[in-house]
Amino acid sequence: MERAAPAFAVAFAIFYVLAFTFNYTPFTYFPALNEIKLGVVPGSDTVGPPIFWYGWLVYSILAGLVGAAVALVLPAKLTEKAWSLLVWLVPLVAIAYMSYEARHWFTYNLAG
């Protein structure tokens, strides 16, 4: 388990950034209708705003599990040094990138 957790964190962070950036989601949730539709479905005035986040999490968790499984198969000596750096570096870079990508949600626009 000690080898799987860092690999999970690294794979999860990498794939979450990809899922967010390119909108990879297996389904779209519409809270106003309490409905789930397969794939990326845009919102409208009748169905309300879509939530893609749940799908991003599903794909990222699956990617994390694959990363953890790969780490368990590889020899411990091979992955030991890599994880000590990557387990901190990759999530921090992912957080920085996500903050940059989401900056438009936190700016005040006087023009409307």
Whether residue 111 lies inside any domain: the answer is no
Could you identify the residue written with the tokens 């949600």? 105
| Tokens read off for 35 | 């409905």
Whether residue 28 lies inside any domain: the answer is yes
Q: State the average pLDDT over residues 22-32.
A: 94
Whether residue 84 lies inside any domain: the answer is yes
Residue-wise pLDDT tens digits, 34-69 = 999 999 999 888 888 999 999 999 999 999 999 999
Helices then strands, each counted (H, E), the chain: 3, 2
Range of the domain at 94: 4-106
Whether residue 112 lies inside any domain: the answer is no
Is 8 a residue whose pLDDT tops 80?
A: yes
Number of structural domains found in the chain: 1
The contacts of residue 95 (CB under 8 Å, 6+ apart) are none
